[in-house]
Structure 1
Amino acid sequence: MSDFLHTFFDWSEIRGALPALLTEGLRNTLLIAVLAIVFGLVVGVLLAVLLLSRRRLVRLPARVYVDVFRGLPAIVTVSLIGLGLPAAGVRPFGRNPLGYAVIAVGLISAAYCAEIFRSGIQAVPPGQLQAGRSLGMSYLKTMRLVVVPQGIRNVLPALAGQFIVDIKESSLVYLLGLGVGQRELYFIAQERQAASYNASALVAAGLCYLVITIPLTYLVNWLDRRMREGGGGGARRAPAALAQEDAPGAAVAPAGTADTTTGAAVKERA
């Protein structure tokens, strides 16, 4: 029992690892995760719109992207992007591995965000799109002003869950050999464990991850509860109201043409 406690709960090792974990490691973990989820949200919205296209040639590239990056293990993607691109002479970030780490995690996140957004947009009643088109708005304008905002609201819990996944997947970028000042939580703990042959630093890193992910998990559950109960804000603006804001002279459609929906939260995990 004493060997077990010494291996996993050596307080001197934990105290020695915490300063670097709480400053450098925590900062870089959150930096990678935040930049990756931003990248994933932007690319994911674009992919979702392509996936919803009625044209097969438009849908096909987006579907291939989503299937590939959802099907590959995250560690393979990180290795291909972070190690393969520089070896092939493609060095958009020079020798800075942090940029490749963000892109690798972001590409994975984008594939999952695309499916999340697609499901959320499809949950919006068709009447919303039809009402916007009846007011003379183009397809893209109706999607941008009416359908996509409602779809995003539908999937807020799932997007928060994806951010938790990105935080955990940021640990895989240790493969890229981050330098001092760029190391994330796992990299710091793994270095210390390799030097001391003691797993207490890994336990300390695990506690740091839990401090981030557990509150976020409760936030996801709270958002999901509010969405299911129909809370979280006032009624949505009808397409007619949006059209009036954009073109004051436009006619107002009958009240029954613009449905509202709270939608069910769409969840998809890696």
Structure 2
Amino acid sequence: MSLWIRELTAGYRHRTVLERIALQPFPEGSLIGVIGRNGAGKSTLLKSLAGLQPYRGEVLFDNQPINLKNRGTLASQLGYLPQSLPQPTSLIAYETVFSASRAVINSFDRAKLEAAIEQVFATLGIRDLALRKLSELSGGQRQMIGLAQVLVRSPRLLLLDEPTSALDLHWQLNVLNSVRDVTREQGATAMVAIHDINLALRFCDQLLVLGQGGVLAQGPAQEVLTPQVLREAYGIEGRIERCSNGTPIVLCDRAIDH
């Protein structure tokens, strides 16, 4: 178990978003879906774990504190993908990934890095984008390049903030499949903030449900979501059914608050 979170409090200016949350350690190789309503603290949690914003409490990764001061030390082990897309530039996609990786990899080996980039582009199915300028790419394509920048370094902790937000259904499935496979193969831990509950149920090993400034539920994905949790987290009357192939799906009947 490499990630420990105890009594974490974080927010913005004078507004506390998360207050004294503590999480059970997640098994290595886990893909963790972070879900909850807008403003529940999903992005705040990921930014805090990435060492990008101050917090109170204790966050340890491999027994090293994650904070603003220590972020440089852990840069090669942490991979963070923000909600914001890579900006359109005249650089080609390959150059963008190469430059970002070289900036944080301590033992730079050009041949190994080039091989890693080739592998990640193939895994994500974006080899045809490698020589295209970012200014020529759609938002979804740039989101894929941003994900490639994270995956190519093989970080042991991946923090992905809505990595499927700009993607169509085909690419949503491709991204979550790829992240799940990479996480398991490398024994990494991945936390993915995601709005689509059914995608989270389908791909994630664990779910972390945020709401009311804290953790409403945490545990195996197919055990955590109940009608009561859906009511508390989203203010809906909902139920969990199974489709014809046995995959659980959430059906929303009605909203119960305003």
Indicate the TM-score class for this superposition, using the shorter chain for normalisation.
under 0.3
Normalised TM-score (structure 1): 0.23
Choose between structure 1 and 2 for higher RCO, CA contacts under 8 A separated by at least 6 residues. Answer: 1
Normalised TM-score (structure 2): 0.24
Q: Which has the higher strand share?
A: 2
Q: Which has the larger radius of gyration?
A: 1
